[in-house]
Amino acid sequence: MKRTHCFHASGLLLYLASVQVEARSIHECIIVPQAAIVTDMPAGLDEFEQRLWVADTGQRVRKGTDTLLLLRLFSESPGVIDSQQYIKITGSLKRYAPSSEGTPEVVDARLTSGGAGFVHKGDNWLSDSVDVELHQPHERDNRMEVKVTAVGWNSYRKEDRSFYLQFTCQLKEIPVEKLSAWQGGNDDLWGSFGPTR
């Protein structure tokens, strides 16, 4: 009987060791019409909330008159502590019309990046000078090739970091009132650094 238990236990361990852990990765490209970037920190935030606000600088959105592009990237490795990494980029789109030909220009883009578990310490990179290039490989297709170049500064670590991103994603249009905290909407600062499951 003991041998059977040992066999089952060792078989279970062998099975668990052979299961591959897949990382979760999300790339969102969102167009937000009639919007503006929120720049003023609300009053009454405690010290931790102020750090969260600063970490999300330039990524929160409210109703306005511009058309915004929100790029949201998130990755994590299941079972690995503090593996959640985010990159958020928000900029204004010039010459954008849903059915028009030609590629819009992204201006005044800002970036924030870091580990989701460390933003309350102020351990993240910020850049207010981000170069975003868009290329639409096929007309009448919402897929967009995106290239991002930036240098971010981390005031907690007192160091900078270069960012070069290249990816393809599907453009989707979402009104301001439908944006999640992760995407840039509502006032849930704690929910700003990763998508809900």
**DSSP string covering 80-97:** STT--EEEEEEEEEES--
Rounded CA separation 138/130 (Å): 25
Q: Which tokens hold the place of 181?
A: 């905290």
Is residue 90 within 8 Å of residue 184, measured between CB atoms?
Answer: yes
> Where are the domains positioned within the chain?
21-186
pLDDT tens-digit map of 163-197: 999 999 999 999 999 999 999 997 788 889 998 86
The more confident residue out of 11 and 68 is 68
User: Is residue 8 pLDDT above 50, yes or no?
Assistant: no
User: Is residue 131 pLDDT above 90, yes or no?
Assistant: yes
What does the pLDDT read at residue 174? 97
CB atoms within 10 A of CB 101: 8
18-25: average pLDDT: 57
Rounded CA separation 167/27 (Å): 8
What does the pLDDT read at residue 3? 54
Q: Which tokens hold the place of 133?
A: 């290039």
